[in-house]
A and B are shown apart, each in its own frame.
Chain A
Amino acid sequence: SAVISQKPSRDICQRGTSLTIQCQVDSQVTMMFWYRQQPGQSLTLIATANQGSEATYESGFVIDKFPISRPNLTFSTLTVSNMSPEDSSIYLCSFLAGGGETQYFGPGTRLLVL
């Protein structure tokens, strides 16, 4: 199966700043997703990122706050903009390989906003 990595693995940021999280897959994949896991909570989908089209955001998430790029079939970025302590979470990317239904997840980025 494909290997997926995320950078950074963790970060501590100041309120009002922005952080860009990178997600890299070692093979070409069709669909990529970004999820958030707030402390003590389960995962919530932020958006679907498909190459060649704008990301599709879930209710409660907006592009100005969480801009996403998907420049090719192996890479995506999620930016958390103008951060506040409420953005402290684990951010995970995932993907579906072509023709498959199993969704694979990256190791996550642990973000703490002070």
Chain B
Amino acid sequence: KQEVTQIPAALSVPEGENLVLNCSFTDSAIYNLQWFRQDPGKGLTSLLLIQSSQREQTSGRLNASLDKSSGRSTLYIAASQPGDSATYLCAFSGSARQLTFGSGTQLTVLP
């Protein structure tokens, strides 16, 4: 059974700092990986999708990488802003497209 771990559980950084969120998984037989953000009282917003055949995806200040051999994915956020404050979740999809979520990293960007 796939297990997904996110480190750190919480992170507080000053505005403008670059940061990396980590996600590790136990089963390399993944179909794809998604990173989401969840704002308090709201649903999930999809940030990036990486197919299993890909190594990274970029969108604006966000870059996500996938290394199946080591069972790791990272989300890099450049020049962080207070509006980036949220909980970030990674999730892996099997062939049936069900998502297995990590426990999340709660990010606070201080002005």
Report which A residues bind B (CB closer than 8 A).
31, 33, 35, 41-45, 48, 58, 92, 94, 96, 101-108, 110
- B77-93 toward A: CB 8 Å interface, digit per residue (1/0)? 00000000000010101
Q: Residue among A48, A96, A103, A106 with the most chain B CB within 10 A?
A: A103
- Check B43 against A107 for contact (C-beta < 8 Å): yes
**A109 CA to B46 CA, complexed, in Å:** 18
**A96 CA to B98 CA, complexed, in Å:** 10
Per the CB 8 Å criterion, the residue count for chain B at the interface is 24
- Check A92 against B97 for contact (C-beta < 8 Å): no
**A87 CA to B102 CA, complexed, in Å:** 21
Evaluate whether A103 and B34 lie within 8 angstroms (CB atoms) in the complex, with A31-B97, A42-B89 already known.
Answer: yes
- Check A104 against B98 for contact (C-beta < 8 Å): no
Report which B residues bind A (CB closer than 8 A).
31-32, 34, 36, 41-46, 49, 51, 89, 91, 93, 96-104
- Check A102 against B93 for contact (C-beta < 8 Å): no
Note all chain B residues with C-beta closer than 8 A to A44. 101
**In the complex, which residue of chain B has the Cβ closest to the Cβ of A10?**
B41
